[in-house]
Structure 1
Amino acid sequence: MIENVKDISDLVGLSRLKGRAFEIKAIHPADLETYVVQGWEFYKKLTKTIQVKRNKQHSLLLEDRVWNMFFKMGFSQLSGQGGGQLIINPKEKNSPKSQIDIVAIDREVAIAIECKSSADYRKRIQFQEELGKFSQIKDPFIKAIRNNFSHDGVKKQPVFIMFLSKAIVNENDKERAKQSNVILFDDVDLTYYENLVNHLGPAAKYQILSDMLPGKEIPGLSIKIPAIKSKMGGNNCYTFSISPEFLLKIAYVSHRSKGKASDINTYQRMLTKSRLNKIREYLSEDGIFPTNIILNIEKNRLNFQRIKQEGDQDDEINAGILGWLDIKAAYKSAWIIDGQHRLYAYSGHPKSHKSKLLVMAFEGLKPSKQAELFIDINAKQKSVKQSLLQELFAELHWDSDKLSDRVSAIISKSIQDLNNDPSSILFNRIQTTDGVKDNVRCITLKSLFDQIEKKGFFIAKERGGNVLEYGPLWAGNNNSTLKRATFILNVWLSEVANHNTVWWNLGSAPGGGLSMNDGVAAIFSVLRNLFELLEKKGLKLVSCSDQELADIIKPYSVALGQFLAGLTEGQRKSFRDLRGIQGLTYRTMQCQVGMRSIMPEFNPDGLDEWQNLQKQQTNKNAKEIIDQMEVNLQNNIIDELKLNIGTEDEIWWYEGIPQTIRTKVSSRMEEDKNKRGGKEYYFDLLDYKKIIHDNWEIFEKKFGYGKGGKDKRTEWLDFINEGRRIVAHASSGKTVSLDHYQRLQTLHQWLGIQINEVEEEVIATDE
């Protein structure tokens, strides 16, 4: 026996309470301060009392969300406040009771639901114990349902579900749940079903029943209808009309937003509520749909009986054969390829039982063919985004005969699994076609796809399209390779991210840049280089188990994480600012140099050559910057002196240039016989600093950098001169450091801005 299970009509008030994210309590006004200390806040004043509220605890919030979802789906009976009370042995007077968080009963099913949550994402180490305890109620629950809830003559299918929120469950525990016939749903599933019921209303019930009881026949719902059988693209298909009410119960749409890691066959976008509402209005105005709903129905659900035809029998199959089509109704037996909005607009609509929809139903299409057909249909209506095609690559090519296509399908699915798995470091960070881009969800599937599909991950060597040697992530077949790739990629990224938690969590926000397209692409690029290095050292990585491979690469990912953690704020900005192919190359090599400083044994081919070349290039670029800055200083200082002091009798020279510098410059001119063509061409870089000091009232605004006195604000010229000495003596072997070069760039940009802004200001004043 199960106590505290009520008809849904008696639970309307409770649904309002459970639909809130906060709980409310009426108290005496004098007790307000006590409740505030406990986390409550004032909500509303009543006649003699006041109401206070506080956000629900995560455990209560989860239970209420799940309960309210089943309420909106229209299950005929639900447990009341406090859950269902299962009497273990009804024949005993003082029989023990077991509390069930939620009991949901409908005509065909009886569901026992346990809800477990955490405040933050963490491993559910006690899950095995919780699963065992939940499994103990199965037999008493089944007996109670059979004895007390089968008055309508329909045998109810018992279902046992655990809803887990922010709980990370390992593969072994998932397998235990499967063996115990306990269905696990997570946060992604719950959000999906909540959105679905808000869009569809009661019809969402058949979607969740399809996920819980795929293939289970629905009692009393089989149907026999007239249909025309024909062939299209070599596949059997049937054309008929049918009531939306019937089709809603057997139809299934596998939405990509659902995110089930085990579900390969997902190609539909989530329903659009505004579009559904417009179609419902159209139906209410006696609108009709002249176009077909496109379905795929499982082969074992159809039986076609041909009736007598007239005409050429040889051409019957092309022209169409008339007959009777038996449909054995079962959950998840009719997959919608096109027309989900037209069908689900009938959910809860008064015309759903008497209207008719035109249907073209294919028989037993493979998921890849369904996805291909979906693309073909929608591409004719509007352009299909490249991002959507990449997301659908797994569905389109999962069972392809071409290995490279199957590898691409595995990569596509692996990336999506990393985005959907709460234990993944990329959880909810990859921007999907249906998702909204923000500071966290800022990594595109394409950017990851482009890196992981490169040679060295799955295929090491091939010739003429034939694989000579598989890469480290290959595991023999699609599913094993998917599991291995997802695991290894997550291990590699996690170690890097865990050493840079703050930087990683910023995403694309100011100060971020690591967990963005270019940052993650570089991290995967380094992994590819590591695989090549380890293979050249004689390690056969493809022969390693998943865990063995993870253990081999982990020290290197730790080293990469430590290097990145040591970057200064300026270096992080430079890391982010690099763009394009050259930027990726530079970022990757920079990471390799940093890793080698921590692990000298990490020495990939080409790293020394790149580092030497980079030093030469940095010196060359630094010299160009310094030369340009020196020319700018020369021109502007002389021009300013002439403008502010005058040119008559070269007064600017005598009044603006300190005597020590005049003497030095004159001596240089004499020795050089004035080959440069003027006094201004014989100044040293530090001469400009002295000139600026002696004419501070003229040059402060233009050449004063930062804050402080003139000595402090002209220190940048000493820094420029230090760089000039390094690049002027190539034989010394010294190179400008990356930090030094980056500061040179900053000063160069600043000087250009200062010169332009001050000159524009002077022009405006003159006008």
Structure 2
Amino acid sequence: MTEELRAKFFENLITGDEISQLLRLKKLDSYKESFNNGAAIIEDKLKEGWEVDVILKSKTKLSKPKPNDTLFKDKVWSLFARLGFKFLNKESFNLSCDKKDLSAVHNIDIFAKDDETVLIIDCQSSIKNSVSSFDEHLEQIKYKKAGLIATILALYPGAKPKFKYILATRNIGISQEDEAALNKIDGIHFSEEVIDYYDSLQSQLGLAARYQLLGSLFAGQDIPDLENKIPAIEGKMGGHTYYSFSIEPEKLLKIGYVLHRNKAHENMMPTYQRLIKKARLKEIHKFIEEEAGYFPNSVIINIVSTKGSLVFERASNQVPDSISRIGILHLPKKYRSAYIIDGQHRLYGYANSKYRNTNTIPVVALVNLDRSDQVKLFMQINENQKPVSKDLRNTLDADLLWDSESYIDQIKALKSRIAIKLGEDRRSPLYDKISIGEDKKSISTQQIGIALSKSDFLGKVKAKEIEKVGTFYTGHLNKAFQNISDFLIKSFGYLKDELSDLWNQEGNIIVINKGIYGIVMILNDCVNHLIKHEMIDQSSSMKDIFDEIKPYLDSVIKFYRELNESQINELKSAYGMPGDAKYWRTLQLAVRKDYPEIFFIGLDDYLKKEEKENNETAFLYIREIENEYLKVVVRQKLEDEFGKAWFKKGVPEKIYSDAIALAAKKNREIDNEDEEKEPWDQLHLIDYREIILKNWQKLFEGTFTKPGEEKISGGKEAKTKWVVELNRIRNENSHTYYVTSEELSFIEEIHDWLIKSSST
């Protein structure tokens, strides 16, 4: 290699303080520049899309958003800078990949190197979620890789670094064919979820996050200069051989790996660990560092041992008749050869400690446990500690129970796997909206599982038999998983496309737990209707079933488009199982409005029950509004204004005469004077409105104008129309009328305004 090419290559690299300086710029979302106030270049910059951030006494600061591809490249670059790689490129550059043909080059987005590692990273990004093919790109890498490695070795003579090619993507899913092509060239795909995972891990662990990264990139490869011999005890437990020993945290960190349950490890199922908590890690680090604290309980690990990589040399002096043996254990000198089952916070608490090489921590190491056995052990250990979240437990079920001999367990696994598919598949409209593992989102895996359980999609099973086949499940897990996932992705995708504005609103009425439950249940209703009328059967393709469902989904779409704020609040404020049922039944009503021939089992009974409950609540609230507020407040204001003549002067003549006459008629039949009725007690609800109108401007305008209606047209008649509506519902309610949910919401609004506000 010529000195010119060598010099040109090293011109592209920076190290030390230069990396720190560039990191300050790379990690920003926008470009930043400042100029003297009034400089002519400012106007030119503004025309180029720059914006004024702030004008100081002598300087004007400008900013311009980075393009999408640059933003992602800088994010990835910043991650590897923060992970402590010693050499990084300043910007993308060309590197020779053929020593005979100097024109043959590969454009490298990110070059990251330390003493033992060289990473070549290509970055591809999209503004919107998409799926792309990288077959041509990866085919080129296949032929360039050997040349690139040869060039790097020539640039660093005497060095023997490990190489890894990384394809980093943002908002781009890659095909199984691309994954296979990457494996063939010993490359790896980092989606933005993986980038975010290491970014989060670095912010919590600092440079110690490198151990997890290196374990992922170079699993099974040798770790140079690792001192791996330790005193240990060999024993038996639960049919497994295990080793008990004490080890410096630094050594265990190098070979250790944590199977965090998130999208970064979706190709390593089953995984089980919760993400590391920064607050807890700080507490442990402080305990170790400042209080010289220690943890006597053991870290539990699983050692992955290939032939000859784990050796136990028994000592010559043993305790006679003891099952346990003492000796020297030779740990595997390989990345990702020890999976941390329990104790990740204790271990990583030492990562940045001055004691990481001078303290030891106790370890119990099992050997070559199946991943599912690791999950079971993790669950057992945590049974009586901090509860495993329902979403994490459901996610674990997808892996742990899939091969169970129990149909009940298989169905649990199927429901969990469908939920995971909906949340992790980029084709799914619910992508990144479902809580998977420890990632908290707006929809829970548990809620999807409940909806699937209540539907007829899965049928009914006992531990050892299928009682009733489902519309999509006949005993074949993989087929049911594919069909149900495909059907739900198509159906939710149609709703998302037709309701994109609403769907993408923060906190919308669709992408919430009860919304997903209601939609799954209405889909189940429509599938059952189509099967009943022999329009589809279990042999129908998912495309055919979806095509038949679409007209009913159009009714659901129309319902969402016509929703008003009051209806949205009513649905959102219904909680728990009754809230789920209300949402589902509301969608049934929307579909039945357009397709009255569909019979929804239980809908009419539900409506009757709800109407009865509405009547009772409505009557109670109206009675409180009338007797505890209007009757008291109106009288008090009349007395304050007219004194003893309040009834004569404040009440309209007809109401005054009728009330006196009615009281006199009732009192003729009452012997005890103490029980006689007052004329004021004989008023009807609507009478209070007439009294209010008579004394509107002077006494009642401020009290009985609803908030927000101060400027409506129609004067006092319009502003007191709420009393007319209350009176109508009250009169209907006393006979055979059923109060609608919308009417009940109106009554509750008036009740909150008058009763609740007056008591606070």
TM-score between the two structures when normalised by the length of structure 1: 0.81
Q: Distance in 1 between matches of 2:383 and 2:662?
A: 76
Q: Distance in 2 between matches of 1:158 and 1:500?
A: 47
Q: Distance in 2 between matches of 1:589 and 1:174?
A: 44
**Alignment correspondent of 2:460:** 461
After superposition, where does 1:351-750 map in structure 2 within 5 Å?
A: 356-379=360-383, 382=386, 389-394=393-398, 396-416=400-420, 418-421=422-425, 423-430=427-434, 441-454=441-454, 456-458=456-458, 460-463=459-462, 466-472=465-471, 474=473, 485-508=484-507, 512-538=508-534, 543=539, 547=543, 550-600=546-596, 602-611=598-607, 614=610, 618=614, 622=618, 625-626=621-622, 629-631=625-627, 635-636=631-632, 639-640=635-636, 643-644=639-640, 654-662=648-656, 678=677, 679-680=679-680, 683-696=683-696, 697-705=698-706, 706-707=709-710, 709-724=715-730, 726-727=732-733, 730=736, 736-750=739-753
Q: Distance in 2 between matches of 1:160 and 1:138?
A: 10
Match for 2:164 among 147, 152, 159?
159
Shift of 1:173: 5.7
Secondary structure of the structure 1 residue equivalent to 2:136: helix
The C-alpha deviation readout for 1:726-746, integer Å capped at 9, x for no partner, is: 44563xxx7554433432332
> 102-111 or 328-337: which moved more?
102-111
Match for 2:256 among 251, 254, 263?
251
Match for 2:49 among 11, 34, 39?
39
**Alignment correspondent of 1:87:** 96
Change (3 A) 1:265 1:641: closer
Secondary structure of the structure 2 residue equivalent to 1:521: helix
Shift of 1:201: 4.3
Q: Distance in 1 between matches of 2:456 and 2:379?
A: 31
**Alignment correspondent of 1:268:** 273
Change (3 A) 1:240 1:383: same
> 2:318 touches 2:325 (CA, 8 Å); kept in 1?
no
> 2:663 touches 2:682 (CA, 8 Å); kept in 1?
yes
Shift of 1:578: 1.5
Shift of 1:123: 1.5
**Alignment correspondent of 2:200:** 195
Shift of 1:407: 3.0
Shift of 1:687: 3.7
Shift of 1:5: 5.5
Q: Distance in 2 between matches of 1:638 and 1:140?
A: 89
Shift of 1:370: 1.8
After superposition, where does 1:99-118 map in structure 2 within 5 Å?
A: 99-105=107-113, 110-118=118-126
Change (3 A) 1:615 1:165: same
Shift of 1:499: 4.5
Shift of 1:290: 4.4
| Letter paired with 1:523 | I
Change (3 A) 1:464 1:109: closer
Change (3 A) 1:488 1:234: farther
Shift of 1:116: 1.2
Q: Distance in 1 between matches of 2:32 and 2:732?
A: 72
Change (3 A) 1:738 1:380: closer
Q: Distance in 2 between matches of 1:450 and 1:582?
A: 14
The answer to whether residue 81 in structure 2 is matched with residue 71 in structure 1 is: yes
Shift of 1:34: 1.2
> 134-143 or 427-436: which moved more?
427-436
Q: Distance in 2 between matches of 1:727 and 1:212?
A: 71
> 217-226 or 237-246: which moved more?
217-226
Change (3 A) 1:489 1:141: same
> 1:493 touches 1:557 (CA, 8 Å); kept in 2?
no
> 474-483 or 699-708: which moved more?
474-483
Shift of 1:404: 2.2
**Alignment correspondent of 1:300:** 306
Shift of 1:115: 0.6
RMSD (Å) for aligned C-alpha atoms: 4.4
Identity %: 28
Change (3 A) 1:96 1:252: same
> 2:9 touches 2:95 (CA, 8 Å); kept in 1?
no
Shift of 1:19: 4.2
| Letter paired with 1:86 | L
Q: Distance in 2 between matches of 1:26 and 1:659?
A: 79
Change (3 A) 1:542 1:214: farther
After superposition, where does 1:181-330 map in structure 2 within 5 Å?
A: 182-218=187-223, 223=228, 226-273=231-278, 276=281, 282=288, 290-300=296-306, 302-304=309-311, 307=314, 316=322, 319-323=323-327, 325-330=329-334
> 2:460 touches 2:467 (CA, 8 Å); kept in 1?
yes
| Letter paired with 1:32 | I
Q: Distance in 1 between matches of 2:456 and 2:479?
A: 18
The C-alpha deviation readout for 1:496-522, integer Å capped at 9, x for no partner, is: 4555445544554xxx54433333333
Change (3 A) 1:578 1:90: same
> 2:472 touches 2:484 (CA, 8 Å); kept in 1?
yes
**Alignment correspondent of 1:752:** 755
**Alignment correspondent of 1:765:** none
Change (3 A) 1:533 1:217: farther
Q: Distance in 2 between matches of 1:382 and 1:673?
A: 70
Q: Distance in 2 between matches of 1:105 and 1:483?
A: 43
Shift of 1:574: 0.9
Q: Distance in 2 between matches of 1:714 and 1:433?
A: 54
The C-alpha deviation readout for 1:625-684, integer Å capped at 9, x for no partner, is: 555555557744884487357797xx5554344334455567778999977975456555
Could you tell me which runs of 5 or more consecutive residues in structure 1 were left unpaired when the two chains were aligned.
Answer: 761-767
Q: Distance in 2 between matches of 1:249 and 1:494?
A: 44
Shift of 1:715: 1.9
> 2:408 touches 2:461 (CA, 8 Å); kept in 1?
no
> 1:368 touches 1:398 (CA, 8 Å); kept in 2?
no
Shift of 1:189: 0.7
Q: Distance in 2 between matches of 1:51 and 1:719?
A: 60
Change (3 A) 1:533 1:180: farther
Secondary structure of the structure 1 residue equivalent to 2:70: helix
Could you tell me which runs of 5 or more consecutive residues in structure 2 were left unpaired when the two chains were aligned.
Answer: 671-675
Secondary structure of the structure 2 residue equivalent to 1:723: helix
